[in-house]
């Protein structure tokens, strides 16, 4: 997605919050946006997601999380009754995401905004509310590669994501590790970085049963064959360390299955990635992505495994009026097809697509209930609080 302007946030202020977040990581008990786009990019971007960037920022280095584990050593059991405890290790079966008993499941949850800008919106209290008040099954950890993200300090951001995986695990949620490449749109630009990052994350957390790896947020400006080539080079690197965690592969034209570039799902159906236990991602923004996108999603779901790792109720920039009617149609379709979804985004950014009112994260909440929520937040929370029964009824 392409951004419009942002309110300024000082790097000193954000650094202080990052330090506070680090303390929170240690203390927790067990128990889309780039610089301004061209008119052509904006038009194609009926395309894409509301990955918006605030101006300025930076966070300080968190302490190391400690030793690196390898293989599938036993992880601490998630709290009883939580999504990860009920479902265990996920795997792709046919066109569905299935739990350890082979039952298709639908996960529902929220994505953080860019962790380099909004660490204060992913504290222990915020994640408590997401797991317990919102009743989310999954949290997407949005690690931008450029735009002040991973490439500026790989150690700092790898440790930050690692700590958040631990926090999600302690709350029994699944964690999608989102390699949020956005600009440039060719995922090969970050292939070497991705190999380094996912190898370390897999070594540190591949023993857990509550992970999914999203290896390319929104490829753009490249062919499907180029995206496929990237996936087929990266996935074997991950599999050498972690053979079991599902991998989510971004699709062409801002993960629109190619629709935003005048194509459709047929290119993926005809030439799938040569790898097992993978799913393809689809992103939509209800006020911009109408019948053509909806139809492609519906058709594709019958042919390939899909996971909606990002959507909004507004326009493709995550701005403007909410279209709850169209968003509701999408979510009804996803329920019918048993497709998991994640909403963008769990922050207090000024855009209508950020669920919290501005200032909520600076104040440290309140996170639970609806008093701090924008209209989009109230709507998506209400849809999330009636969870999948995971085949138990």
Residues with catalytic roles: 218, 310
Q: Are 109 and 139 a contacting pair, CB within 8 Å?
A: yes
> 343 pairs with which residues across the strands?
110, 311
Write down the residue that tokens 């946006």 correspond to: 33
Three-class DSSP category at 91: strand
Integer Cα distance of 283 and 217 in angstroms: 9
- Ranges of beta strands (E only) in the chain are 91-93, 96-98, 108-111, 138-144, 174-180, 211-214, 247-249, 278-285, 306-312, 341-344
β-strand pairing of 211-214 with 96-98: unpaired
Integer Cα distance of 364 and 46 in angstroms: 34
Question: Which DSSP string corresponds to 154-217?
Answer: HHHHHHHHHHHHHHHHHTT-EEEEEEE--SS--GGGGHHHHHHHHHHHHHHHTT-SSEEEE--S
Phi, psi of 233, rounded to the nearest 5 degrees: -90, -35
**Which structure tokens are listed for 117?**
């800008």
Quick one: 359 exposed, middle or buried, by C-beta within 10 A (0-12, 13-18, 19+)?
A: exposed
Residues 6+ apart with CB under 8 A from 16: 60
Picking from 60, 58, 77, the residue whose alpha carbon sits closest to that of residue 11 is: 58
Quick one: 269 exposed, middle or buried, by C-beta within 10 A (0-12, 13-18, 19+)?
A: middle
Residues 6+ apart with CB under 8 A from 243: none
Integer Cα distance of 31 and 281 in angstroms: 32
Integer Cα distance of 140 and 109 in angstroms: 8
Peptide bond into 345 cis (omega under 30): yes
Q: Are 168 and 175 a contacting pair, CB within 8 Å?
A: yes
């Amino acid at each position: 997605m392409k951004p419009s302007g942002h309110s300024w946030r000082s790097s000193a202020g954000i650094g202080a919050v990052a330090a506070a977040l680090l303390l929170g990581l240690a203390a927790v008990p067990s128990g889309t946006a780039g610089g301004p786009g061209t008119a052509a990019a904006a038009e194609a971007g009926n395309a894409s997601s509301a990955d918006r960037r605030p101006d300025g920022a930076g966070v300080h280095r968190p302490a190391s999380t400690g030793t690196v584990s390898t293989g599938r050593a036993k992880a601490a059991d998630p709290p009883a009754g939580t999504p990860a405890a009920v479902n265990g290790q996920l795997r792709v079966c046919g066109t569905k995401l299935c739990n350890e008993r082979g039952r298709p499941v639908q996960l529902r949850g929220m994505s953080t905004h860019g962790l380099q800008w909004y660490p204060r919106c992913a504290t222990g209290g915020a994640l408590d509310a997401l797991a317990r008040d919102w009743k989310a099954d999954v949290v997407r950890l949005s690690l931008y590669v450029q735009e002040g993200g991973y490439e500026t300090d790989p150690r700092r951001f790898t440790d930050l994501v690692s700590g958040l995986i631990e926090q999600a695990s302690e709350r029994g949620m699944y964690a999608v590790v989102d390699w949020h490449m956005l600009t440039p749109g060719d995922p090969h630009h970050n292939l070497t970085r991705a190999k380094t990052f996912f190898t370390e994350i897999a070594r540190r957390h591949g023993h857990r049963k509550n992970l999914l790896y999203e290896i390319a947020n929104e490829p753009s400006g490249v062919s499907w064959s180029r995206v496929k080539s990237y996936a087929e080079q990266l996935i074997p690197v991950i599999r050498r360390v972690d053979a079991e965690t599902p991998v989510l592969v971004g699709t062409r034209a801002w993960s629109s299955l190619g629709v935003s570039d005048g194509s459709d799902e047929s290119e993926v159906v005809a030439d799938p990635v040569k790898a097992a236990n993978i799913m393809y991602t689809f992103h939509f923004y209800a006020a911009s992505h109408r019948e053509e996108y909806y139809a492609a999603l519906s058709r594709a779901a019958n042919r390939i495994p899909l996971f909606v790792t990002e959507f909004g109720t507004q326009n493709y920039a995550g701005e403007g009026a909410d279209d709850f009617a169209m968003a509701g149609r999408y979510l009804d379709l996803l329920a019918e097809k048993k497709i998991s979804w994640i909403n963008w985004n769990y922050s207090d950014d000024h855009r209508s697509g950020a669920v919290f009112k501005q200032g909520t994260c600076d104040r440290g909440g309140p996170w639970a209930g609806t008093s701090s929520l924008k209209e989009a937040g109230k709507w998506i929370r209400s849809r999330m609080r009636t969870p999948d029964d995971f085949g138990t009824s």
